[in-house]
Amino acid sequence: MARSPVMRATLAIPRRPPPIRARGSVLLAILGLGVWAFLALDLTWAQVIPTAAGLRQIGEFFSYALRPALSYQPGEVPDGSPSLLVQALLSARLTLIFAVTAMSLSVVIGGVLGFLGSTAWWSGDASGSRTAIGRYARRTVAPAIYATTRVVITLMRSVHELIWAVLFLAALGLNDLSAVIAIAIPFGGTLAKIFSEMIDEAPRDAADALRGAGASGAQVFCLGLLPRALPDMSAYALYRLECALRSSAILGFFGWETLGYFVKQEWENADYDQVWTYLYTLLLLVVLVEWWSSGLRRRFVA
């Protein structure tokens, strides 16, 4: 059927883009939810204005930023206790130990769950499904394992490490294992999520070539997919180590003698110059780890 000139002209008119695209709609939705939350909580701008006493305390605290303490005041510490700087270094050492130990466990958890939580090991036309049992496992068992793993990953990373610390503190008491597990569980869940996505998004050219050459499913994954994703996985794990340092320091508020423990203690005693000593120690520790890890990340992703 021939189209009339009017129909052809109508079809030739390009579609006008919508006034609000998808990203704009998301931003407007977030803004609307923020306004709703502000009203639901009965918040007022007057609540963010500090009182005169609060301003004085803030001013006194920041006045010590350029003159942190290098030693305790006479009579503040019993005989035999380490000096302030030595104590800061000891607490930084414990903070680093907790972070490294927790991250070591998190990498193991994230690697195992990241593998199970990816689709690369079971989806597609892998050569491991030549038998009836293999095809049944790929169609039924593997998707069930995948779905269960994704739920476990979500549960692990949905609960903050401070909540895990409260739970393990009540169950196991104030011991080092509680601190390590409290960090390792949510960090392991986060690593598992990111690792699984990196594996699924890795280039498939080498894997397809191996599959076409008759390689097994394990060979396709270990030689074709994992090496392509491993540099990004390693770089992200190093970044999470920096985050684990901060989490390890915060655990000091629960009683572990990391840097956060002494920050809290000196703040309660209003010894703001000593607070800045521990804060600068934490800053130095994070900067050193970031400097070391950034060099490794550049090598991994080069």
Contacts of 246 (CB under 8 A, 6+ apart): 282, 286
Confidence band for 281, pLDDT divided at 50, 70 and 90: very high
Global pTM reads: 0.80
Mean pLDDT to the nearest integer, 208-231: 78
CA dist., res. 92 & res. 206, Å (int): 44
User: Token digits for 131?
Assistant: 């038998």
CA atoms within 13 A on the CB side of 243: 16
For the chain, the straight-line distance linking the first and the last C-alpha, in angstroms and rounded, comes to 59
In this structure, the chain runs to a length of: 302
Contact 285, 95 (CB under 8 A): yes
Looking at residue 144, its amino acid is A
Mean pLDDT to the nearest integer, 111-119: 90
Is residue 151 over pLDDT 90?
yes
Q: For the chain, what are the domain ranges?
A: 84-301
CATH superfamily of 84-301: MetI-like (1.10.3720.10)
Dihedral sign, CA of 219, 225, 230, 233? negative
CA dist., res. 95 & res. 78, Å (int): 24
Contact 103, 187 (CB under 8 A): yes
Q: What is the pLDDT of residue 284?
A: 95
Residue (of 98, 109, 103, 100) closest to 254 by Cα position? 98
CA dist., res. 229 & res. 298, Å (int): 15
Is residue 297 over pLDDT 90?
no
Beta strands in 167-239 (DSSP E): none
Residue (of 100, 103, 97, 92) closest to 285 by Cα position? 92
301/267: higher pLDDT: 267
- Count CB atoms within 10 A of the CB of residue 112: 14
Mean pLDDT to the nearest integer, 127-145: 67
Mean pLDDT to the nearest integer, 142-162: 90
Average pLDDT, the chain: 84
In this predicted model, what pLDDT tens digit does every residue of 32-87 receive, in sequence order? 998 898 889 888 887 778 888 888 888 998 999 999 998 887 766 656 678 889 99
Confidence band for 109, pLDDT divided at 50, 70 and 90: very high
In this predicted model, what pLDDT tens digit does every residue of 231-264 receive, in sequence order? 889 889 998 998 999 999 999 998 899 999 999 9
Residue (of 179, 126, 189) closest to 154 by Cα position? 189
Looking at residue 189, its amino acid is G
